[in-house]
């Protein structure tokens, strides 16, 4: 049978390992060079395939083969300095009327290498994605410091924002009596640290009552209610914030060696809210109410809240106010002005 010899000779030269064994005894009847190289025999057990195949789960293999099915597993072998991963498959086939166990092994090391490399890359990529996400959140947090969230969302979604008019808003403006002298006469670092504490406390109050901190300019602090989300309670919200600013400073002054005395101005009117600037943008507000609040703040006595007639009218039922008569306000003419005294106990 010359043809059988041809096949045998060809099988010997294959790059895959191949062996034929007796299915009952696992005795190897034929093996090619690769099989011999990858699964070399011990000195004593030359022919038992069960002892030649590393890590063979014998029970499972026998049960699978017993049901006439094939069985495959992976094993690692040493080949010089390399560790090769070999995929080994076993199946029983009829050869000339007799069952034979055919064992086949192929080198899948390259595939494994590629898998490991992909794992390594996935981990790198996931780590990068997490870092990017953190960076994005940090950037978002920074932007939310200089603009209201809805404006930020608009900017993010459309790349631009449109100036918007808000008809019903109330603006609050504060500054500190003698701040410039304080900063110069005392340790400027310490003064700024204290200012930072105070503004942080103001921020919490502003947030608590649903208002927006617009900006700080030096020792001046500007907050607004009624934008970017309109609310009918804009004047009441700001009045509450103003009284709490005052109370916070009173409490702080009784406990601290450095005293901080504020002046607060409150005014109601329409405003335009918009992002200004391209490189260094900031959300800002424009309109007569801003100017009016600034004038009223300047007219305030130390630790007093001064407001215009329109604000007073809106909060009259909930707050106690005292008239200060009329005053000449630059750009606004003669106006009646009021001092905000307290919140009525029965008020909201």
Partner 1 sequence: MATTIFERAGGFSAVRKIVADFYDRLLDDVTLQKYFANIDMARLIDHQTQFVSSMMGGPGEVSNDSLRKAHERLNINKADFIKLAGILRDTLEDHGLPDEAVQHIYDAVMARETFIVSKK
Among 1, 2, 13, 82, binds partner 1 (CB under 8 A): 82
User: Is residue 15 a contact point for partner 1 (CB under 8 A)?
Assistant: no
Q: Identify whether the C-beta of residue 335 lies closer than 8 Å to the C-beta of residue 326.
A: yes
Among 25, 63, 83, 180, binds partner 1 (CB under 8 A): 83
Q: How many residues bind partner 1 (CB under 8 A)?
A: 19
The residues, any chain, with a CB within 8 Å of residue 10's CB and separated by 6 or more, are: none
CB of 78 to partner 1, least distance (A): 8
Among 7, 117, 150, 192, binds partner 1 (CB under 8 A): 117
Phi-psi region of 159 (alpha: psi -120 to 50; beta: other; left: phi over 0): left
Select 121 or 341, whichever has its Cβ closest to partner 1. Answer: 121
CA pair distance 269, 264, nearest whole angstrom: 17
Show the beta-strand stretches assigned E in the chain.
17-21, 28-31, 71-79, 82-95, 98-107, 164-176, 212-217, 220-225, 262-276, 282-286, 304-308, 319-329, 333-343
User: Is residue 123 a contact point for partner 1 (CB under 8 A)?
Assistant: yes
Interface pattern 260-299 for partner 1 (x via CB under 8 A): ----------------------------------------
User: Is residue 130 a contact point for partner 1 (CB under 8 A)?
Assistant: no
Token duo for residue 336: 């009646």
User: Is residue 81 a contact point for partner 1 (CB under 8 A)?
Assistant: yes
Select 119 or 301, whichever has its Cβ closest to partner 1. Answer: 119
Token duo for residue 14: 């294959």
Select 123 or 251, whichever has its Cβ closest to partner 1. Answer: 123
Number of H helices, E strands in the chain: 11, 13
User: Is residue 127 a contact point for partner 1 (CB under 8 A)?
Assistant: yes
User: Is residue 80 a contact point for partner 1 (CB under 8 A)?
Assistant: yes
Asked whether the CA dihedral 334, 340, 344, 348 is positive or negative, the reply is: positive
Q: Identify whether the C-beta of residue 3 lies closer than 8 Å to the C-beta of residue 49.
A: no
User: Is residue 133 a contact point for partner 1 (CB under 8 A)?
Assistant: no
CB of 46 to partner 1, least distance (A): 27
Nearest to 153 by CA among 316, 314, 283: 283
Select 120 or 342, whichever has its Cβ closest to partner 1. Answer: 120
Among 128, 185, 302, 326, binds partner 1 (CB under 8 A): 128
CA pair distance 147, 285, nearest whole angstrom: 11
Residues 97-116 that bind partner 1 (CB under 8 A): 112-114, 116
CA pair distance 202, 124, nearest whole angstrom: 43
Select 13 or 81, whichever has its Cβ closest to partner 1. Answer: 81
Select 88 or 314, whichever has its Cβ closest to partner 1. Answer: 88
CB of 237 to partner 1, least distance (A): 45
User: Is residue 120 a contact point for partner 1 (CB under 8 A)?
Assistant: yes
Among 69, 121, 156, 342, binds partner 1 (CB under 8 A): 121
Q: How distant is the alpha carbon of residue 275 from its chain centre?
A: 24
CA pair distance 19, 168, nearest whole angstrom: 90
Among 7, 125, 276, 341, binds partner 1 (CB under 8 A): 125
Helix, strand and coil percent figures for the chain, each rounded to 5: 40, 35, 25
User: Is residue 208 a contact point for partner 1 (CB under 8 A)?
Assistant: no
DSSP for 63-117 reads HHHHTT--EEEEEEEEETTEEEEEEEEEEEEEETTEEEEEEEEEE-HHHHHHHHH
CB of 185 to partner 1, least distance (A): 46
Contact range with partner 1 by CB under 8 A, out of 20-28, 78-86, 98-106, 258-266: 78-86
Q: Identify whether the C-beta of residue 150 lies closer than 8 Å to the C-beta of residue 157.
A: no
Applying CB under 8 A, the residues found at the interface with partner 1 are 78, 80-83, 85, 112-114, 116-117, 119-121, 123-125, 127-128
């Amino acid at each position: 049978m010359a043809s059988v010899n041809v096949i045998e000779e060809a099988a010997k030269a294959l790059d895959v390992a191949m062996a034929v064994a007796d299915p009952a005894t696992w005795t190897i009847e034929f093996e090619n060079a690769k099989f011999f190289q990858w699964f070399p025999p011990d000195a004593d057990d030359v022919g038992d395939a069960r002892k030649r195949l590393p890590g063979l789960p014998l029970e499972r293999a026998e049960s699978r083969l017993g049901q006439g099915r094939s069985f495959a597993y992976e094993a690692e072998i040493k080949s010089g300095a390399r560790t090769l991963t070999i995929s080994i498959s076993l199946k029983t086939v009829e050869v000339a009327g007799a069952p034979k166990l055919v064992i086949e092994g192929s080198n899948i090391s390259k595939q494994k290498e590629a898998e490991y490399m992909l794992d390594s890359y996935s981990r790198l990529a996931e780590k990068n994605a997490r870092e990017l996400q953190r960076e994005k959140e940090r950037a978002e947090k920074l932007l939310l410091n200089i603009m209201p969230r809805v404006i930020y969302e608009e900017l993010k979604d459309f790349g631009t924002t449109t100036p918007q008019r808000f008809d019903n808003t109330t603006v609050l403006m504060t500054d500190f009596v003698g701040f410039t002298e304080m900063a110069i006469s005392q340790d400027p670092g310490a003064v700024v640290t204290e200012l930072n504490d105070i503004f942080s406390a103001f921020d919490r109050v502003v947030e608590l009552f649903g208002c927006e901190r617009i900006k700080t300019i030096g020792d001046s602090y500007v907050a607004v209610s009624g934008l970017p989300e309109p609310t009918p309670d804009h004047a009441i919200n700001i009045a509450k914030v103003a009284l709490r600013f005052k109370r916070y400073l009173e409490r702080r002054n009784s406990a601290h060696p450095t005293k901080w005395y504020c002046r607060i101005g409150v005014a109601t009117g329409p405003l335009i809210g918009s992002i200004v600037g391209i490189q260094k943008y900031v959300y800002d507000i424009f309109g007569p109410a801003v100017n009016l609040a600034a004038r009223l703040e300047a007219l305030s006595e130390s630790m007093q809240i001064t407001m215009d007639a329109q604000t007073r009218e809106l909060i009259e039922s909930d707050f106690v106010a005292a008239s200060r008569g009329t005053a000449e306000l630059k750009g606004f003419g003669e106006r009646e002005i009021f001092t905000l005294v307290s919140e009525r106990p029965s008020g909201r």
